[in-house]
């Protein structure tokens, strides 16, 4: 096994700086995208509710036509 190599402090500084900047960018990006995703989910839920209501009405109409006395 090869003994560990001494890494330059400048290289360590650059690596940790890049790590910190990446974490900071990710946190900023997450806080930017989170409200947009919540809005999209809310709109999708409202659209699904409308579609479910339309399906329910169509199903009730179909059942009412089946129960008609004019068969």
Q: What is the pLDDT of residues 12-35, one digit of tens each?
A: 999 999 999 999 999 999 999 999
- Whole-structure pTM value: 0.59
Q: Is the pLDDT of residue 64 over 80?
A: no
Domain that residue 54 falls in: 33-71
Please tell me the distance from the alpha carbon of residue 27 to that of residue 15, in angstroms, as a whole number: 18
Is residue 64 one of the residues assigned to a domain? yes
Classify residue 1: in a domain, yes or no.
no
The domain total for the chain is 1
Domain assignment present for 5? no
In a domain, 50, yes or no: yes
Six-digit token string for 23? 């974490």
């Amino acid at each position: 096994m090869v003994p560990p190599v001494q890494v330059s402090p400048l290289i360590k500084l650059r690596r940790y700086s890049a790590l910190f900047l990446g974490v900071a960018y990710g946190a900023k990006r997450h806080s930017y995208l989170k409200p947009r995703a919540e809005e999209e989910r809310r709109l999708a839920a409202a659209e699904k509710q409308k579609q479910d209501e339309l399906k329910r009405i169509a199903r009730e109409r179909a059942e009412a036509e089946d129960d008609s006395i004019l068969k």
